Amino acid sequence: MRSNFVLSEIWIGLRRNLTMTVALIVVVAISLSLLGTGLLFVKQVDATRTYWQGQAEVSVYLCYAESANPDCHGAVTTAQTTALEQRLQAMPQVAGVTYVSQAQAWALYKQTFTNDQSYVSTLKESDMPPSLEVKTHNAGTDDSVVVSEMTGATGVDSVIDEMSILAKFYSLLNGLRNAVVIVALILVVAAILLVANTIRLSAFNRRRETGIMRLVGASNFYIQLPFLLEGVIAGLLGWVLAAVLLVGVKSLLLNNLQQYFNYNIGLSAADVVEVIVLAMVIGVALCGITSFLTLRRYLRV
């Protein structure tokens, strides 16, 4: 085994095939970075979902003097409120119930819209419904039980599950992730075809050399190794580019997205590193396996 001989053969192969090699590196880089972006999105969605599942509540709005709901016959009574609260607390899914009076709701409303006095000036305290804020053990599964239990109960105006509002946000993120992954997969297919073609061209360019190698009894391993490594090296270079792009995606796109939410649910550097390492494994395996299979077809004994 003469490593510098193999290395010089690889160098000759990459240089002779320069345009194909550059195309290959670029396609591998883009497909890997898109795939990695998809994975980062998955992680982001998971992190966001976990955060919200810890925060989300079910708001049970109670009837008040100005309720539009025909089922409400005047404002809810104290006895009804207590009954509802006890009924909720008896449910195994419920972790805690907080009563928010009209006055408290009005105070919260005013605080939220301090900067928009027009919102505050059009409403008054009596427009605010009193509510029961219900916290469940598992927001994902238990909230719907609370919603069906409370809907239509005496004294209840309407029930709003914060998780169902968030679901829209999730479906947006999921759609974005699916689009990225689909484009990435198409590019992966393109990359595979390009690897196969590059190796085939390289084998064709050096058919004199490989023909002589076969005749003088070089082992298959020795004949194929330079081509195999050529593919793997192109894959590695593509991966390095992809790693740079992924760090860019994280620091420019996802971190900017983060600024719209006042919660600390960003991805850590470890998440990005994990995705980058995964991209390397995929890239090297993709190029190596494709080269190997191509060589089996074009460099027979």
Partner 1 sequence: MIEFQNVTKIYPNQNRAALENVDMTINKGEFVFLVGPSGSGKSSFLRLILREERPNEGRILVAGNDLARLTNWKVPALRRKIGCVFQDFRLLPNKTVFENVAFALDVIGKPRRFTRRVVPEVLDLVGLEGKHERMPDELSGGEQQRVAMARAFVNRPMILLADEPTGNIDPATSIGIMKVLDRINRTGTTVVMATHDAAIVDSMRKRVIELEYGKVVRDQNRGVYGQAY
Nearer to partner 1, 127 or 209 (CB): 209
Contacts 24+ apart (CB under 8 A), 260-265: 263/51, 265/44, 265/47, 265/48, 265/51
Rg (CA), the chain: 31
Nearer to partner 1, 18 or 215 (CB): 215
Nearer to partner 1, 175 or 211 (CB): 211
**To the nearest whole angstrom, how small is the minimum distance from the Cβ of residue 217 to partner 1?**
4
Residues near partner 1 (CB under 8 A): 1-2, 5, 208-209, 211-220, 222-223, 301
**To the nearest whole angstrom, how small is the minimum distance from the Cβ of residue 299 to partner 1?**
12
**To the nearest whole angstrom, how small is the minimum distance from the Cβ of residue 220 to partner 1?**
7
Strands, E assignment, the chain: 58-62, 94-100, 131-136, 156-161
**To the nearest whole angstrom, how small is the minimum distance from the Cβ of residue 230 to partner 1?**
16
Nearer to partner 1, 2 or 168 (CB): 2
**To the nearest whole angstrom, how small is the minimum distance from the Cβ of residue 228 to partner 1?**
15
Helices (H), ranges, 56-161: 78-90, 102-112, 117-122, 139-150
Paired tokens of 8: 């010089």
Nearer to partner 1, 90 or 216 (CB): 216
Q: How far is the C-alpha of 142 from the C-alpha of 138, rounded, in Å?
A: 6
* Cα-based angle 220, 225, 229 (whole degrees, multiple of 5): 160
Task: Tell me the C-alpha to C-alpha distance, in Å, between residue 74 and each of 54, 62, 63, 70, 145.
Answer: 35, 10, 7, 10, 27
